[in-house]
């Protein structure tokens, strides 16, 4: 990875893209420290005890907890993206756009942006009004006007973060949204670790040091575990026969259909955790209600029932998302149209038998992916709580956060290698072949 970065900086065009990416990330981090006028100093800090609020703050790099300009961060766009993924299954025009050309997909992305702005307004209103008016000063003449302007600034900050992410995707290296989330999670984890280190002298010093070391070793172990699983895949070999069309010969070669063990990535965990946290988020606006007290006690984040139900939902959404991403019938038809046949791990007839074989294969490998995600959830929910509850590191990394950090880092490295390969190919020129 480091050698790739060094080689990338030697190429002028790639260096320009890297510097632009770093500049956008720097602007994002600066926005996380710009205070919003009208918010009582330190008032949002008291909300850190709310589990849902704490998770949202982690994604924003601590900006939400501090009540700064980028308090909403990229969260509205993430929510809008998830909603659009589900809507494409039930609304035929949206499904057509998602499977269309680049212009159609850009139109779908634009619709997602509009939905993200709407969600930013809803979330801004919910945060500012749901947790009471005592967190705001009458800076702009009245408390109501101040709250309205704070909501506008929160929504504007979220739109600016979306713009920064788009600039990274279009002119930089990697996916801008993923990098923004990556930076936010790393920044929050760094703040938690720094806070734990500064509190080592409080109480038993030796115990505190060993707990921090144990946490770091566990994080390293989980990183390695995620990388190994993320690279694991099953290859289904397809052999295509030669086809003569006019004066040209097509086919006559072998190809692989790669089935990744964790093909769904973080989406099953995001779907499952969102499904469980949504009722608590709504009920948290009325913290004294009987429903909120009951839900927090029995199904609150980190409770045994919550962890059990979360694992069950991860299995459900793993298979659900696999059905969305992997269309066995379409792949089977494509193989048949091109004169291909699956021959490894065993020969399979074209048509219906190929389709059924692909369905069984994706179900089998999805099962291992669901088990992996459940184990990862248990590690972050139980083991991390055991070694990180006393020093505040328990919320430094979640299962989703760890997956995102590893996945984005690997994706960024792949993008750099692709950029380098393209530059080297261009530098050789076609006359050298």
Rounded average pLDDT over 107-128: 89
pLDDT at residue 344, rounded to an integer: 67
This prediction's pTM: 0.82
Segment 278-318, tens digit of pLDDT: 787 777 667 778 888 888 888 877 788 888 998 999 999 89
- In the DSSP assignment, the letter for residue 49 is G
Segment 232-258, tens digit of pLDDT: 888 888 887 666 566 665 555 778 888
Rounded average pLDDT over 148-173: 93
Instruction: Report the C-alpha gap between 355 and 376 in whole angstroms.
Output: 31
Q: Do domains 1-196+409-425 and 232-390 have the same CATH topology?
A: yes
Could you tell me what percent of the chain has a pLDDT over 70? Answer: 88
Provide the CATH number for the domain formed by 1-196+409-425 in this structure: 1.10.3370.10
Confidence band for 430, pLDDT divided at 50, 70 and 90 = very low
Bridge partner list, 240: 340
pLDDT at residue 249, rounded to an integer: 56
Q: How many CB atoms lie within 10 A of CB 305?
A: 11
pLDDT at residue 386, rounded to an integer: 76
More confident residue, 166 or 131: 166
| Closest to 99 in 3D by CA, of 314, 166, 91 | 91
Provide the CATH number for the domain formed by 232-390 in this structure: 1.10.3370.10
pLDDT at residue 155, rounded to an integer: 95
Residue 58 has pLDDT above 50, yes or no: yes
- Going by their DSSP bridges, the two strands 248-250 and 340-344 should be labelled as unpaired
Instruction: Tell me the average pLDDT of the chain.
Output: 82
Rounded average pLDDT over 254-277: 82
Residue 433 has pLDDT above 50, yes or no: no
Instruction: Tell me which of 19-28, 245-254, 281-290, 397-406 is least confident.
Output: 245-254
Instruction: Tell me which of 148-157, 312-321, 384-393 is least confident.
Output: 384-393
- In the DSSP assignment, the letter for residue 351 is T
Joined tokens for residue 140? 């702009």
Indicate the domain borders of the chain: 1-196+409-425, 232-390
Instruction: Report the C-alpha gap between 400 and 376 in whole angstroms.
Output: 9
């Amino acid at each position: 990875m480091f050698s790739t970065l060094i080689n990338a900086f030697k190429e002028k065009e790639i260096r320009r893209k890297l510097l632009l990416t770093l500049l956008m990330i720097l602007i994002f981090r600066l926005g996380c420290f710009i205070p919003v006028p009208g918010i009582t100093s330190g008032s949002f800090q008291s909300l850190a005890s709310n589990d849902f609020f704490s998770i949202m703050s982690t994604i924003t790099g601590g900006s939400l907890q501090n009540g700064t300009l980028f308090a909403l961060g990229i969260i509205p766009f993430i929510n809008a993206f998830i909603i659009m993924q589900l809507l494409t299954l039930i609304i035929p025009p949206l499904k057509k756009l998602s499977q269309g050309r680049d212009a159609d997909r850009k139109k779908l992305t634009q619709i997602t942006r509009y939905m993200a702005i709407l969600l930013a307004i809803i979330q801004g209103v919910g945060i500012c009004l749901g947790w009471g008016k005592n967190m705001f000063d009458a800076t702009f003449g009245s408390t109501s006007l101040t709250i309205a302007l704070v909501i506008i600034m929160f929504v504007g900050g979220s739109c600016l973060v979306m713009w920064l992410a788009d600039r990274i995707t279009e002119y930089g290296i990697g996916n801008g949204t993923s990098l923004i989330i990556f930076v936010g999670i790393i920044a929050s984890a760094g703040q938690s670790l720094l806070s734990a280190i500064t509190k080592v002298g409080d109480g038993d010093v030796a115990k505190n040091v060993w707990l921090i070391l144990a946490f770091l070793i566990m994080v390293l172990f989980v990183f390695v575990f995620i990388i190994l699983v993320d690279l694991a895949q099953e290859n289904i070999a397809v052999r295509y026969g030669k086809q003569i069309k006019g004066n040209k010969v097509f086919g006559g070669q072998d190809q692989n259909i790669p089935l990744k063990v964790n093909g769904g990535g973080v989406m099953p965990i995001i779907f499952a955790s969102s499904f469980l946290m949504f009722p608590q988020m709504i009920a948290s606006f009325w913290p004294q209600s009987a429903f909120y007290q009951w839900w927090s006690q029995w199904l609150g984040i980190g409770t045994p029932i919550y962890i059990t139900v979360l694992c069950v939902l991860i299995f459900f959404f793993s298979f659900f998302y696999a059905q969305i991403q992997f269309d066995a019938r379409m792949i089977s038809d494509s193989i048949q149209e091109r004169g291909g046949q699956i021959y490894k791990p065993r020969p399979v007839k074209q048509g219906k038998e190929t389709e059924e074989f692909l369905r069984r294969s994706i179900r089998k490998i999805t099962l291992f992916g669901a088990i992996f995600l459940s184990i990862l959830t248990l590690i972050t929910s139980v083991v991390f709580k055991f070694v990180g509850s006393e020093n505040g590191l328990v919320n430094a990394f979640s299962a989703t956060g760890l997956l995102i950090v590893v996945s984005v880092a690997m994706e960024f490295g792949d993008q750099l290698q692709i950029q380098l390969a393209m530059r080297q190919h261009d530098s050789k020129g076609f006359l050298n072949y």
